[in-house]
Amino acid sequence: MRPTIIAGNWKLHCTLVEAEALARGVLPAAARAAGRQVLLCPPFTALDRVARIVVEGAPNLRLGGQNLYWEERGAFTGEISAGLLVDCGCSHVLVGHSERRHVFGELDEESGHKVAAALGSGLTPMLCVGEKIAQRRAGETQEVVERQLAAGLGNWRPGADRGVVIAYEPVWAIGTGETATVAQAQETHTVIRSWLAGRFGGAIADETPILYGGSVKDTNAAELLIAADIDGVLVGGASLDAAVFSRIITAGL
């Protein structure tokens, strides 16, 4: 049985005071959604503060980093390692978010190094994949997503390594207010699960959670979560309001 995961990606938002208030604000909803995993991904500066709330709060709460570098230590100014994320209380880390790829120019192969580094330190990587609007219009969605999966999971040894989470986030739906329809999301989630089955076998494909992300709101979360291959949501903007994110956490319950 795959867990349902509701993840909040706070991006470049939240002072320490704001982060603490936001994390405390979702505790009642997380407690009500005891069967779901609720993952908070604050900026690095707030990880330690939010970690304390996660530990004291509901047992289904998890903490994640938004990015990592694959070297463990050294002269890499401005970077953060898997070990430092674990040290702050993280269990998860986003890899290859579309803003990393398209604002900061991260390459497909970098996500492979990052997934390996996360796994090596005991973090669960959440590999984000998704096509741009021009690629969708050109009928290249499957090709783009499969290329990103192949690069990101090239070093994954299921069985020996811990599991991974995939997040399908069409670039045209992120922060635009334009959500993929449930049918569009489900269609690409099926592509992802089939690719996982072909590469790693049906059992691994069956147990790997695939989240949808891109303008998820409290008004559309329930219908997304009902779809057979949508195992959770990765929420940006709507995760910054405790009341709205709380409704997403409990959507459809």
Position among 17, 71, 104, 175 found at the interface with ligand PGA (CB under 6 A):
175
Would you say 136 or 158 has its CB closer to ligand PGA?
136
Position among 96, 209, 213, 232 found at the interface with ligand PGA (CB under 6 A):
213
- Least spacing, CB of residue 106 vs ligand PGA, in Å: 14
Residues 6+ apart with CB under 8 A from 175: 215, 236, 237
3-state helix, strand, coil in the chain (%, to 5): 45, 15, 40
The helix or strand, by DSSP H or E, that contains position 48, with its residue range, turns out to be helix 47-56
Would you say 91 or 158 has its CB closer to ligand PGA?
91
By CB under 6 A, residue 66 contacts ligand PGA: no
CA atoms within 13 A on the CB side of 55: 9
Position among 60, 130, 236, 249 found at the interface with ligand PGA (CB under 6 A):
236
- Least spacing, CB of residue 216 vs ligand PGA, in Å: 5
For residue 60 the two structure tokens come to 């289904």
Cα dihedral: 62, 43, 188, 124 (round 10): -40
Please tell me whether residue 11 adopts helix, strand or coil conformation: coil
Position among 210, 235, 242, 248 found at the interface with ligand PGA (CB under 6 A):
235
Residue least distant from ligand PGA (Cβ): 236
For residue 138 the two structure tokens come to 């050109």
- Least spacing, CB of residue 179 vs ligand PGA, in Å: 8
Catalytic entry in 97, 106, 131, 189: 97
How many angstroms separate the CA atoms of 227 and 231, rounded?
8
The question of whether 169 is a catalytic residue gets the answer yes
Catalytic entry in 99, 106, 131, 169: 169
Rg, C-alpha atoms of the chain = 17
For residue 78 the two structure tokens come to 């401005």
- Least spacing, CB of residue 213 vs ligand PGA, in Å: 4
Position among 4, 9, 111, 124 found at the interface with ligand PGA (CB under 6 A):
9
Beta pairing partners, 166: 127, 210
Footprint of ligand PGA (CB under 6 A): 9, 169, 174-175, 213-216, 234-238
